[in-house]
């Protein structure tokens, strides 16, 4: 600029110098020169102003370029085909490429495939409408091969308008990165959703807690149901809630168990009465049963039936399904306003229906427990036997009226005592051992059924000091872990039974004695012959001894021999008499281990004279594996004698060569011993075997009919069984079983094989040990 001014001044000075040389110095010329100088000055000033404006424009252009390139948003221009024609640095950075690399590239190539159609539609709309417009697009994920960084895809807001000017048309776009704003919006929505979910959970949890609390405020089921429906009504903000039972379309009638309503709610449900199930009501029930979710606004006709003729504006029903009963139907009403049931309302209704089902199960259990308690109390108090509960120390926890009547104490007096103080001193140890065994049974035998009872007969002492025979049955009540809680005792007054048993025992022993004596009477002739023989021998030898003493000299050896024979015959007679006396004496009949083979030989030896007199052959057979039996040896011997005597009587008409009695002894099962006596007599063809063991029934002339009856009584008393059956080939078999002896402690079997009585009885071999097994 300075050079231009200097050149202009130099040229003007040369021009003025030439004018002065050529001119005449007139004023006109001077004025012209002056104008030229003034114009020169103006031109110079304008030139300086233009230069200043140019400088400002250059600076402004540089600032605009900076603002354009470094703007916080991206700017780009695209043609109608969507190719980038211009873009600032911010836009290039958003797209992850350099500016030069972006020129003439399709903008859609940088977007997700699913957003490219949206961009094309946006471009077409701008070109067609020629109005500004907005569009959201998402950039595709960048990969490390052609991107500056590996950032996640971002969301852009496109603000587009058509550029002014002649064709070709170009669209100017502003690219705003709204990723963070979208993230913030998502987070805000998530917070709102979480807050709504928390509110819904709180409403749900608090509602369930209120419902559970209402179930515990009262014990009466009806009061509980009313309280529950009041809570449901308040939680779901309805005008009325009711519960119908049963929710069964096949039921002929239903009824509303309970209801809760706001004051002055129109339409009163038909509570406390039966409602016949018509077709609209059946459809209502089916719709609830077939739906998993609450049914909204069901048939208003059926609701009107339940609501006294009034149909509410908004309705909701849901089936309540307890596990142990038929379903019920929960109904909710809004009487005057329409309501759109929200998802939270439906969720809460479902949850409340589920909790109601649980509570109905609890109420059913509570009702069953109440009824069970009432039945137990009635059974306990009205029982015909005494019942008590005892703790570990034997103190009474509870007693019934019958026990008080048996012992003569009041309930208060018994509750202050222990069971030990009410028992006869002689039975105290038995009671303590019994209680200890009951308390420890489960520990010793885990397979034992819990609560299994055992009994004990013992003597109690009444309040007046008198003895009361009682049968005590106790069982231990245990908790789930097997620990002892208390004992249950059942006490039955058996004094009358004991007196009767004592009389029966005396009568039975009298019958047994009579039977023995009767048996002895039947054997009297044979016994007389048996005793007469040694007496005759004694008389003969005594006479011979006296004769030798009268003749001198005395033969000492012959006299000694005679006296020895007298002593032997006297001992034989004594043994016969002792055997008869031992057989006829009364025995206590206490069970003992007995060897049935030894008892059988003793019985045969007892009636050996009768056997010889009737020319009968007896055979005894016993297996090696036969265990010891349990019973009284003398009484079992009596049974065998009766059977053997009956067998001989039955063979009176049998030829002597065929008169055989056979006793067979063998094991019967794991815990029984079987004894069978077989004969070859007339048999049982004309006899009813079931009547043979009846008292006073006899088939022989002169019989008493007591032998077999007493035999059955004896065998039954030891837990055995006796019966008769025909013998193959003719005759009869009388058999009986006795339980195997189970000693409390192991003992030597040989020591248990004692004689049948205290008298030394010796039995010679049977006259004829024939082979074969008729039994």
Condensed to tens digits (0 to 9), the pLDDT of residues 422-437 reads: 899 999 889 888 888 8
DSSP per-residue letters across 744-766: SS---HHHH---SSSS----PPP
Residue 370 is assigned to a structural domain of this protein: no
For residues 356 and 470, state if they share a domain: no
Residue 191 is assigned to a structural domain of this protein: no
Determine the average pLDDT of the residues in 575-593. Answer: 65
Q: What is the pLDDT of residues 530-571, one digit of tens each?
A: 566 677 767 777 777 777 777 767 777 777 787 877 887 777
Residue 369 is assigned to a structural domain of this protein: no
For residues 528 and 551, state if they share a domain: yes
Q: 676, 686 in Cβ contact below 8 A? A: no
Lowest model confidence (mean pLDDT) among 303-307, 336-340, 538-542: 303-307
Q: What is the pLDDT of residues 101-123, one digit of tens each?
A: 999 999 999 999 999 999 999 99
Q: What is the CATH number of the domain that holds 549?
A: 1.10.287
Lowest model confidence (mean pLDDT) among 47-56, 373-382, 414-423, 544-553: 544-553
DSSP state of 313: S
Tokens of 325: 């009963």
Q: How confident is the model at residue 762 (pLDDT cuts 50, 70, 90)?
A: very low
What span, in angstroms and rounded, lies between the C-alpha atoms of 12 and 10?
A: 5
What span, in angstroms and rounded, lies between the C-alpha atoms of 197 and 599?
A: 93
Q: How confident is the model at residue 144 (pLDDT cuts 50, 70, 90)?
A: very low
pLDDT for the residue 147: 41
pLDDT for the residue 472: 93
pLDDT for the residue 124: 92
For residues 408 and 530, state if they share a domain: no
Q: What is the pLDDT of residues 697-733, one digit of tens each?
A: 566 655 556 678 788 888 988 899 999 898 888 889 9
Q: Is the dihedral of CA 6, 8, 11, 12 positive or negative?
A: negative
Q: Is the pLDDT of residue 27 over 80?
A: no
Q: Is the pLDDT of residue 764 over 80?
A: no
pLDDT for the residue 308: 59
Q: What is the pLDDT of residues 609-642, one digit of tens each?
A: 788 888 899 999 998 889 999 998 888 888 898 8
Residue 241 is assigned to a structural domain of this protein: yes
Residue with the bigger pLDDT between 437 and 772: it is 437
Lowest model confidence (mean pLDDT) among 124-133, 270-279, 420-429: 270-279
Q: Is the pLDDT of residue 86 over 50?
A: yes
Q: Is the dihedral of CA 350, 353, 359, 361 positive or negative?
A: negative
Q: What is the CATH number of the domain that holds 139?
A: 3.30.450.20
End-of-domain residue from the set 456, 490, 524 = 490
pLDDT for the residue 570: 79
Instruction: Kindly report the length of the chain.
Output: 775
Residue 376 is assigned to a structural domain of this protein: no
Lowest model confidence (mean pLDDT) among 143-147, 371-375, 521-525, 723-727: 143-147
For residues 51 and 86, state if they share a domain: no
For residues 155 and 247, state if they share a domain: no
Q: What is the pLDDT of residues 37-49, one digit of tens each?
A: 777 787 878 888 8
End-of-domain residue from the set 522, 546, 576 = 576
Residue 156 is assigned to a structural domain of this protein: yes
Determine the average pLDDT of the residues in 285-298. Answer: 89
Residue 646, C-beta contacts closer than 8 angstroms, at least 6 positions apart = 679, 700, 707, 708, 734
For residues 10 and 124, state if they share a domain: no
Q: What is the pLDDT of residues 179-204, one digit of tens each?
A: 888 899 889 999 988 888 888 888 88
Give the count of domains, the chain: 6
Most confident of 27-36, 240-249, 362-371, 445-454: 240-249
For residues 744 and 595, state if they share a domain: yes
pLDDT for the residue 240: 87
Closest CA to 118 of 167, 160, 77: 160
Q: How confident is the model at residue 771 (pLDDT cuts 50, 70, 90)?
A: very low
Q: How confident is the model at residue 748 (pLDDT cuts 50, 70, 90)?
A: very low
Q: Is the pLDDT of residue 520 over 80?
A: no
pLDDT for the residue 453: 56
For residues 716 and 598, state if they share a domain: yes
For residues 335 and 250, state if they share a domain: yes
Question: How confident is the prediction for the chain on average, in pLDDT?
Answer: 80
pLDDT for the residue 115: 92
Q: Which domain holds residue 620?
A: 589-752
Residues above pLDDT 90, as percent of the chain: 30
Residue 747 is assigned to a structural domain of this protein: yes
Closest CA to 128 of 86, 169, 77: 169
For residues 464 and 558, state if they share a domain: no
Q: In what order do the strands lie in the sheet with 253-261?
A: 275-276, 253-261, 240-245, 328-334, 314-320, 295-296
pLDDT for the residue 577: 72
Q: What is the CATH number of the domain that holds 287?
A: 3.30.450.40
Burial 748-760 (b: 16+ CB within 10 A, else e): eeeeeeeebbeee
Q: Is the pLDDT of residue 55 over 50?
A: yes
In this prediction the pTM is 0.44
Determine the average pLDDT of the residues in 131-142. Answer: 89
For residues 395 and 450, state if they share a domain: yes
End-of-domain residue from the set 68, 102, 122 = 68
What span, in angstroms and rounded, lies between the C-alpha atoms of 115 and 83?
A: 16
Identify the H or E element spanning 479: none
Q: What is the pLDDT of residues 472-518, one digit of tens each?
A: 999 999 988 888 899 999 999 999 988 888 887 776 666 666 666 66
Q: Is the pLDDT of residue 757 over 70?
A: no
Residue 368 is assigned to a structural domain of this protein: no
For residues 35 and 102, state if they share a domain: no
């Amino acid at each position: 600029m300075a050079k231009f001014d200097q050149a202009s001044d130099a040229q003007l000075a040369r021009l003025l110098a030439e004018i002065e040389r050529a001119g005449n110095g007139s004023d006109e010329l001077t004025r012209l020169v002056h104008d030229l100088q003034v114009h020169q000055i103006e031109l110079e000033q304008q030139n300086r102003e233009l230069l200043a404006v140019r400088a400002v424009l250059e600076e402004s252009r540089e600032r605009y370029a900076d603002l354009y390139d470094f703007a916080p948003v991206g700017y780009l221009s695209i043609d109608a085909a969507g190719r980038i024609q211009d873009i600032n640095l911010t836009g290039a950075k958003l797209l992850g490429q350099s500016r030069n690399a972006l020129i003439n590239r399709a903008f859609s190539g940088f977007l997700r495939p699913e957003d490219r159609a949206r961009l094309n539609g946006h471009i077409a709309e701008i070109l067609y409408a020629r109005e500004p417009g907005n569009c959201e697009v998402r950039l595709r994920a960048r990969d490390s091969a052609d991107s500056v960084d590996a950032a996640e895809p971002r969301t852009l807001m496109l603000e587009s308008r058509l550029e002014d000017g002649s064709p070709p048309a170009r669209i100017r776009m502003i690219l705003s990165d709204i990723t963070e704003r979208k993230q913030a919006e998502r987070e805000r929505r998530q917070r709102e959703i979480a807050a709504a979910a928390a509110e819904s959970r709180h409403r749900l949890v608090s509602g369930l807690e209120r419902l559970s609390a209402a179930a515990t405020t009262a014990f009466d089921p009806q009061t509980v149901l009313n309280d529950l429906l009041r809570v449901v009504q308040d939680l779901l903000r309805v005008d009325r809630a009711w519960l119908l039972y049963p929710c069964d379309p096949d039921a002929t009638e239903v009824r509303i168990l309970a209801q809760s309503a706001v004051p002055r709610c129109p339409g009163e449900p038909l509570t406390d009465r039966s409602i016949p199930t018509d077709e609209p009501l059946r459809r209502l029930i089916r719709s609830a049963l077939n739906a998993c979710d609450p049914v909204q606004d069901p048939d208003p006709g059926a609701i009107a039936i339940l609501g006294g003729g009034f149909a509410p504006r908004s309705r909701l029903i849901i089936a309540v399904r307890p596990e142990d009963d038929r379903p019920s139907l929960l109904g909710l009403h809004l009487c005057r306003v329409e309501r759109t049931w929200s998802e939270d309302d439906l969720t809460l209704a479902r949850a409340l229906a589920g909790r109601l089902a649980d509570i109905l199960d609890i109420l059913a259990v509570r009702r069953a427990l109440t009824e069970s308690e009432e039945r137990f109390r009635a059974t306990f108090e009205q029982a015909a036997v005494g019942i008590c509960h005892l703790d570990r120390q034997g103190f009474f926890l509870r007693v019934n009226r019958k026990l008080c009547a048996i012992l003569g104490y009041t309930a208060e007096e018994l509750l202050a005592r222990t069971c030990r103080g009410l028992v006869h001193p002689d039975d105290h140890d038995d009671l303590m051992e019994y209680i200890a065994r009951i308390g420890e049974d489960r520990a010793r035998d885990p397979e034992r059924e819990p609560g299994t009872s055992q009994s004990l007969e013992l003597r109690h002492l009444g309040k007046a000091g008198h003895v009361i025979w009682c049968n005590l049955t106790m069982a231990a009540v245990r908790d789930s872990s097997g620990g002892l809680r208390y004992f249950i005792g059942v006490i039955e007054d058996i004094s009358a039974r004991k007196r009767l048993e004592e009389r029966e025992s005396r009568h039975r022993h009298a019958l047994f004695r009579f039977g023995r004596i009767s048996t002895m009477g039947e054997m009297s002739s044979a016994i007389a012959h048996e005793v007469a023989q040694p007496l005759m021998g004694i008389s003969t030898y005594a006479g011979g001894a006296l004769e030798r003493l009268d003749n001198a000299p005395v033969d000492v050896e012959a006299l000694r021999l005679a006296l020895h024979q007298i002593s032997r015959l006297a001992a034989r007679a004594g043994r016969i008499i002792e055997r008869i006396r031992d057989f006829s004496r009364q025995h206590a009949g206490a069970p003992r281990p007995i060897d049935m083979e030894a008892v059988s030989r003793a019985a045969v030896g007892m009636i050996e004279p009768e056997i010889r007199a009737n020319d009968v052959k007896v055979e005894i057979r016993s297996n090696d594996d036969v265990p010891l039996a349990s019973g009284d040896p003398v009484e079992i011997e009596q049974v065998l004698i009766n059977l053997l005597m009956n067998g001989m009587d039955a063979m009176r008409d049998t030829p002597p060569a065929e008169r055989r009695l056979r006793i067979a002894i063998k094991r019967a099962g794991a815990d029984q011993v079987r004894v069978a006596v077989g004969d070859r007599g007339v048999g049982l063809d004309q006899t009813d075997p079931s009547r043979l063991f009846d008292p006073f029934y006899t088939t022989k002339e002169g019989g008493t009919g007591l032998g077999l009856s007493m035999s059955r009584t004896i065998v039954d008393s030891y837990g055995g069984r006796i019966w008769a059956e025909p013998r193959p080939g003719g005759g009869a078999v009388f058999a009986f079983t006795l339980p195997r002896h189970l000693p409390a402690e192991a003992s030597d079997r040989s020591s248990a094989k004692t004689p049948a009585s205290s008298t030394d009885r010796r039995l010679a071999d049977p006259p004829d040990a024939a082979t074969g097994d008729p039994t």
